[in-house]
């Protein structure tokens, strides 16, 4: 008993290990070439990168929110045949890997894409380029507008049925309906959503790297990658990483404050008729929004289907090996994410029980704070740390699951931590009175409730890792190739049909895993 009481809690060890990994990697990176202060020498470059990051993220956020909110309102007001298909399509784009979105933009709007073909068939001989702002904005809006639409629609669905009935009884006009029922939901959601979309676009890597059109258009994430991969300037990478970390942490603290949504207190989901759905003008506006949104999203979402024609042609040793590598890395990353999430959530619960709410909040914030850490800087730093002990060829295989697992940790934590806290509220006192602790408590009290969220978070972590085109850009090559890297290679050599087939395989795998995750997270215990 004495020995056990002296052992630190696994959650404490995990938290310290994560902090040590992040701090160690940054120190390793900053000191690799003598720790010279590189910040002043990159001043103008840094300002250009920051300006570009902010402008493209700002524009992407405004456009994503505009389209997403318009779609959500139109979908909330209308019930039509195929509405469920539209909602599924929105869900597919939410889990679409960024590198596949790059392919979709090129397939539809590229030089030999569907739009160019259609315009050519109409006799238009001009040329246009998708590289630069147009491609980046299209890809960001394509990935984020459906996300905004789904979250907003979920929020609108939480308006109590009684309030819709009240609105009908009081004879609200469409403007009054918007003012008293829709706007309060939008006002509560938009600040947090805007911050989240801005953060994702600010950190964007694959889209900006592939569609930016040159080194003049780089986000901080791309700049870190270029410093590491092209210029081998580790000091610059460390400074850029620190700046990104500071900006993103600040934004996340603001988000944490803005996104604190009050718990829903609805008695029933609104399955009542909205008083504004019969309004003729709104019917026309909604039809235009739905058709316009459909014309923008559907071709991009369905572009990978052209890969069906070539799916058997691309099956070769390279593809099979890339698939196996992706699956192995995704499995290991999911194990890392779930293991870390479980131990951190357990430590947070322990702190809550002992009424150390502030410490519990630190454990809660730690997984989210990882979203702010630039993965390239973390990877490069860790690479420098393990380089003396590990064969460089093996380093990728060790670091990829670790980095992808850490990237998936915030999402896994969100599934696991609330359930663990719920079991404590329900059965904590009973378990304490029976003397259940440690593994016994985990097996008898927690496991039955945790089983499904663990499977859900495992599948989601696998989906995120399977489609990730991030750190693999540093290690990828003939010896280590994942499916997203293979897709990037095919895109780089303009083999669009093969890229479509590879993209289709990635999307199918990611969607299947996300579907399993969704089913498990919504299933009853």
Structure tokens at 182: 């829709």
CA distance 113 to 134: 15
Q: If we measure between CA atoms, which residue out of 372, 438, 446, 425 comes closest to residue 203?
A: 372
Whose Cβ is closer to another protein: residue 160's or residue 294's? Answer: 160
Q: Count other Cβ atoms within 10 Å, centred on residue 446.
A: 23
Whose Cβ is closer to another protein: residue 11's or residue 155's? Answer: 155
CA distance 468 to 489: 14
Alpha helices in 213-355 (DSSP H): 220-229, 234-258, 280-302, 317-353
CB of residue 192 to another protein, shortest distance in Å: 17
Most distant CA pair in the chain: distance in Å? 84
CB of residue 181 to another protein, shortest distance in Å: 8
Task: Name the residues that contact another protein, by CB under 8 A.
Answer: 160, 162-163, 165-166, 168-173, 176, 180-181, 184, 265-267, 272, 275
Contact call for residues 384 and 43 (beta carbons, < 8 A): no
Whose Cβ is closer to another protein: residue 159's or residue 255's? Answer: 159
CB of residue 173 to another protein, shortest distance in Å: 7
CB of residue 280 to another protein, shortest distance in Å: 16
Whose Cβ is closer to another protein: residue 125's or residue 265's? Answer: 265
Whose Cβ is closer to another protein: residue 115's or residue 158's? Answer: 158
Whose Cβ is closer to another protein: residue 167's or residue 407's? Answer: 167
Q: If we measure between CA atoms, which residue out of 219, 452, 205 comes closest to residue 338?
A: 452
Tell me which H or E stretch contains 525. Answer: none
Contact call for residues 176 and 187 (beta carbons, < 8 A): no
Whose Cβ is closer to another protein: residue 127's or residue 271's? Answer: 271
CA distance 201 to 6: 45
CB of residue 187 to another protein, shortest distance in Å: 8
CB of residue 163 to another protein, shortest distance in Å: 6
Whose Cβ is closer to another protein: residue 125's or residue 169's? Answer: 169
Q: Count other Cβ atoms within 10 Å, centred on residue 355.
A: 8
Structure tokens at 512: 């299947």
Whose Cβ is closer to another protein: residue 267's or residue 433's? Answer: 267
- DSSP state letters, 446-473: IHHHHHHHHHHHHHHHHHHHHT--STHH
Structure tokens at 488: 């990037």
CB of residue 174 to another protein, shortest distance in Å: 12
CB of residue 265 to another protein, shortest distance in Å: 8
Whose Cβ is closer to another protein: residue 153's or residue 270's? Answer: 270
CA distance 72 to 148: 8
CA distance 484 to 472: 8
CB of residue 83 to another protein, shortest distance in Å: 21
CB of residue 169 to another protein, shortest distance in Å: 5
Structure tokens at 382: 């860790």
Q: Count other Cβ atoms within 10 Å, centred on residue 470.
A: 24
């Amino acid at each position: 008993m004495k020995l056990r009481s002296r052992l630190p809690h696994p959650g404490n060890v995990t938290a310290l290990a994560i902090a040590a990994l992040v701090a160690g990697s940054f120190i390793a990176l900053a000191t690799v070439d003598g720790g010279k202060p590189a910040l002043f020498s990159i001043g103008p470059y840094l300002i250009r990168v920051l300006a570009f990051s902010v402008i493209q993220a700002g524009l992407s956020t405004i456009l994503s929110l505009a389209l997403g909110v318009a779609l959500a309102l139109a979908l909330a007001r209308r019930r039509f045949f195929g509405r469920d298909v539209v909602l599924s399509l929105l869900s597919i784009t939410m889990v679409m890997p960024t590198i596949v979105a790059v392919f979709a933009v090129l397939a539809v709007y590229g030089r030999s894409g569907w739009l160019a073909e259609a315009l050519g068939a109409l006799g238009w001989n001009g040329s246009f380029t998708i590289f630069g702002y147009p491609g980046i904005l299209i890809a960001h809006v394509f990935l984020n507008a459906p996300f905004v639409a789904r979250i907003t629609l979920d929020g609108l669905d939480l308006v109590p049925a009684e309030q819709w009935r009240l609105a009908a009884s009081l004879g609200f006009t469409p403007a009054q309906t918007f003012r008293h029922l829709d706007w309060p939901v939008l006002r509560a959601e938009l600040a947090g959503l805007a911050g989240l979309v801005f953060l994702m676009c600010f950190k964007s890597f694959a889209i900006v790297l592939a569609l930016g059109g040159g080194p003049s258009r780089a986000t901080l994430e791309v700049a870190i990658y270029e410093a590491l991969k092209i210029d081998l300037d580790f000091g610059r990478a460390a400074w850029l990483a620190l700046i990104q970390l500071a900006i993103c942490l600040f934004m996340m603290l603001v988000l944490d404050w803005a996104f604190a949504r009050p718990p829903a207190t609805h008695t029933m989901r609104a399955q009542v008729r909205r008083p504004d759905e019969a309004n003729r003008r709104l019917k026309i506006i909604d039809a235009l929004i739905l058709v316009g949104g459909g014309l923008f999203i559907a071709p991009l979402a369905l572009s990978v289907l052209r890969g069906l024609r070539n799916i058997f042609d691309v099956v070769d040793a390279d593809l099979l090996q890339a698939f196996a590598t992706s699956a192995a890395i995704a499995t290991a990353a999911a194990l890392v994410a779930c293991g870390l999430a479980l131990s951190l959530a357990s430590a947070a619960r322990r702190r809550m029980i002992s009424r150390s709410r502030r410490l519990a909040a630190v454990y809660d914030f730690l997984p989210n704070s990882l979203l702010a850490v630039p993965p390239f800087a973390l990877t490069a730093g860790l690479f420098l740390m393990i380089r003396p002990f590990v064969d460089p060829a093996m380093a990728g295989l060790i670091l990829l699951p670790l980095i992808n697992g850490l990237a998936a940790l915030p999402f896994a934590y969100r599934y696991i931590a609330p359930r663990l806290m719920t079991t404590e509220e329900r059965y904590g006192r009973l378990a304490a009175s029976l003397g259940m602790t440690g593994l016994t408590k985990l097996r008898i009290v927690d496991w039955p409730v945790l089983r499904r969220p663990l499977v859900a978070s495992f599948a989601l972590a696998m989906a995120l890792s399977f489609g990730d085109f991030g750190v693999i850009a540093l290690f990828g090559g003939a010896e280590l190739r994942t499916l997203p890297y293979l897709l990037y290679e095919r895109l780089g050599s303009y083999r669009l049909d093969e890229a479509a087939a590879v993209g289709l395989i990635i999307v199918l795998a990611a969607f299947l895993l996300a579907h399993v995750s969704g089913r498990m997270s919504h299933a009853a215990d």
